[in-house]
Each structure stands twice: as structure tokens, then as C-alpha cells.
Structure 1
Amino acid sequence: MTIKQRLELIQAEIKHACNKVDRDASEVKIIAVTKYVSSETTKATLDCGLIHIGENRVEGAIEKWEAFNERGIWHFIGSLQTRKAKKIINKYEYLHSLDRLSLAEEVDKRLEQGVMKCFVQVNVSGEESKAGVDPEDLLPFINELAQYKKIQVIGLMTMAPFYEDPEMTRPVFRKLRELRTEIQDLKLEHAPCTELSMGMSNDYIVAVEEGATFIRLGSALVGRE
């Protein structure tokens, strides 16, 4: 299948999932994750009309941005080492993996203008292999972020465990939505927290049913090379 054909199938599945839970499909934005594909495939993705591009390795992120920065909206979705953050700041508009104050401090120090739209990564599943803030530490962490004036917490992000049956991920996505609502209800100026970045190629339908506003699709959309 071509990227365009995959995209049409995915859009139909998103619409169906939204209809099930009385959502508007326009609320869901697709991030094309181009980690495993070439610049040529990234260009083909942009040519299909997709504008949200996600990378999770600094080297690939810079390569893709330098080639196509004017055509896309750029999301850094992977764990970001503080010492490498300066390479991403001022290039990528969204950071999906804010999980420690040292990274927030680096963003605040190096961002030249405006604010960086950040998702706080939450380790909802509690897996040791996953990065992210523990759910019980989320509110204190977000309160601490108020001191960094160039950080805007637009939402929360999580990665669910991989299951053969995607339905098994539902409690993880539901919990993130509940946490998002708790923060959103506080009406914090620095943390409007209206968005949910959750759902990947194997479980995005469940994530959409549970309220995802950004889904991160790699193999299901752009394939692997």
C-alpha cells in the first residue's frame, strides 16, 4: 500500500472510532513518525498533505528538519538528553517528552523566542523501561514548571505497553485522560493541558476512543525501510 492509501484507511478508522464515542474526528491530529524512513519517504508523507512530523532521535530529527522545515510542524517525541536539547530547541515546535526539571531549565534557557509547546510524559503503566513522571508526582512537577516562562504545558503524553490485543491498553489511556482533566480543571496559566498525545501504530484506535488528540504513527502509516 502507498502512504496515501494507508492514510485513507487510518482516517476512516479514526472517524469510526470517534463516532463510537461521539467525538469529532477533526479533534485528532496524526503525527507521521519518520524515525525508520528516509528523507524521500518523509517528502512523500508531506506530499500527502500531512504536516505533523515526529522524530525521536536527535540526529534524524535535525536531518529531516533541515530538509523540510518549512513544510512541516515538527514534534520531538522521544526521550531527550539534556545535553542534546540545544540541537532541537528553536527548531522543533513541540516536545512530547518533558519529564524532568533539568530539561525544562535547558529549554527555558536556550529558546530564543516564544514558548515551547510541551507535553509532560507520564509513566502511567509503571514499567521500568518507560520514561516519564509517576502519576502521583505529576501535579507537583507541573507546579514546579511555572518558574520556566518559556514552557507551556499543552498536554500529557504516555506510551502504553505493547499488547497483542490493543484493548489491553485502554486502562492506560483512560488514566492519562483522567490526569489531564485534573490538571486542566486547575486552569493554570502555564499549563492549559488541553491535549493528549497517546496511541501508536498498534493501539491508536483505542487511544482515539479514550480521547487522544495527537496520535503518533510510524509503521502503520509510513512503513519501515
Structure 2
Amino acid sequence: MVNVSENITRVLERIAAAARRSGRRPEDITLVAVTKTVPVERIREAVACGLKDLGENRVQELLSKQPHIEGVNWHLIGHLQRNKVRQVWDRVCLIHSVDSLELAREINKRATAAGRRVDILLEVNIAGEESKFGLVPDAVIPLVREIAGWPGLHICGLMTVAPLVADPEEVRPVFLRLAALRREVEALRLPGVDMAYLSMGMTNDFEVAIEAGANMVRIGSAIFGSRDYQTKVEVH
């Protein structure tokens, strides 16, 4: 049986140690608990332990759980199709996965029409994996220049998903490259762009990501157990 409380304690201890190794405070790192396929009751356990940021990969799963869990910040961390923007743009605190001009335009259109501004991260496919979404690194600054100052968008930083490898040290260069790209974007000092967040690192590699500069990590299995053991989503 998975003990969510104990898992959270261990994860927070590891985050704190990695933060100190990188010369930062533990409270500088935001933990986003990834709740993909996790039943609502188990998510409530995590919230009761003090977790306030929850990340979902799929729009429909997020919308099905959201009414049953209060007092949290929802993040959309998975790929977002343009035709689903209308369902979710105003239901989350941060969209981590903006990876095209077309998607940015759709979010901006919806938000502007409502007199709102949406916080987004640009997803970057640093490693160039064909199986993953994200901008190629060379496309990031041109896109930022294009959409900076759009009234419905607030570009808050960058996100990446590193390759899954046995030794997390192998992906340290991926994280360092994203951190460097963040500094490049920040140096442009464009309107509507502040690069507050560097979202990178998951269960397998979050400590290395923090050491490389991450201040937001997305962790699921280390909290809720392997997805192989997750049950069908249940709402009570």
C-alpha cells in the first residue's frame, strides 16, 4: 500500500537537499504533484499533507477531478490541442505546454475576449526527441519576440521533459541548456515576459534538475506510486 504522506516527506527532503546544493532555499522550489490516473481520494490525501499545486496531463481528467478537490492550484502540464483551449484556459493557474504560435494565438484570443491574461510556459524539446512535443531551442526566442506583449498572455518561463535514462546525470546537459535559454530570454526584457519559472525535473531526475536551476518540479510516481498500480479514476 502506498503511503502518500511518507512519500511526500521523502520527496520534500530530497528537494530541500538539492536546493541547498544549488545555493537556494527549499521554499524557492515549487512542487507540482502529478495526478495523472490518480484517484480523487488519494489526491485528497496529498492535499491534506499540504500540497497545493496539482498537475494534470489531460484536459478531460483535470475537468473531472477539479470540482471534487478544493483549495489547490491546478496546472496543465500535458500537450494542449487548440480545440481544447476553450475548455481549460480559465480553469488552471499555469499552462506549462505552449509549443506553437497557433496555440499561443488561440489562448490569447480566448483570454483577451474575456479581459483576462493567462500565465503560460513555453515547452522546449531540448533533446530533440521525436516522441515528445515542444519547440526546438532555436525557435524559442523568435516565438517570444512574436507573442511578447499580447494582452492575453503572460510568459512566465520555460518547461522541458528530459529523456528517460537510467542515470539522471546523463540529462544534466538538457537541464543546463534550458536554464541558459531562460537567461537568454530574460535578457531581452520584453513586455509580458518575466521568466519566473523553470519547470523541469520529474521523479527520475528532479534532484539533478534542481541543481541545474529548476524552481518547479513535476513529480508523480515518487508521491503516488507507479502508475502500474494506479486504479481507474474514481470520483466521490
The TM tier, using the shorter chain, reads over 0.9
Higher mean C-alpha displacement, 143-152 vs 132-141? 143-152
Q: Is the 8 A contact 1:180 1:194 kept in 2?
A: no
The aligned amino acid for 1:40 is: E
Consecutive unaligned residues of structure 2, counting only runs of 5 or more, are 231-236
What SS is found at the alignment partner of 2:74?
Answer: strand
Residue matched to 2:68:
67
Q: Is the 8 A contact 1:104 1:148 kept in 2?
A: no
How many residue pairs match? The answer is 224
Residue matched to 1:51:
52
Distance 2:216 2:47 in 1: 17
1:173 to 169, 172, 175: 175
Residue matched to 1:27:
28
Q: Is the 8 A contact 1:125 1:161 kept in 2?
A: yes
Q: Is the 8 A contact 1:199 1:207 kept in 2?
A: yes
CA distances 1:129-188 after superposition (whole Å, capped 9, x unpaired): 111111111100111112531111100000000001111110000000000011112221
Give the alignment's TM-score, normalised by structure 1.
0.96
How far off is 1:65 after superposition?
A: 1.4
**Which aligned segments of 4 or more residues in structure 1 are displaced greater than 4 angstroms?**
none
What SS is found at the alignment partner of 2:193?
Answer: coil
The aligned amino acid for 1:16 is: A
How far off is 1:13 after superposition?
A: 0.9
Residue matched to 1:157:
159
How far off is 1:42 after superposition?
A: 1.3
Residue matched to 1:210:
212
Distance 2:170 2:58 in 1: 28
Q: Is the 8 A contact 2:149 2:191 kept in 1?
A: no
Distance 1:113 1:45 in 2: 34
The structure with higher relative contact order (CA 8 Å, sep 6+) is 2
Distance 1:172 1:76 in 2: 22
Higher mean C-alpha displacement, 180-189 vs 108-117? 108-117
What SS is found at the alignment partner of 2:38?
Answer: coil
Residue matched to 1:94:
94
Higher mean C-alpha displacement, 199-208 vs 145-154? 145-154
Give the alignment's TM-score, normalised by structure 2.
0.91
Root mean square deviation, CA, Å: 1.2
How far off is 1:77 after superposition?
A: 0.2
CA distances 1:106-133 after superposition (whole Å, capped 9, x unpaired): 1112223431111000110011111111
Distance 1:89 1:20 in 2: 36
The aligned amino acid for 1:11 is: L
Q: Sequence identity, in percent?
A: 38
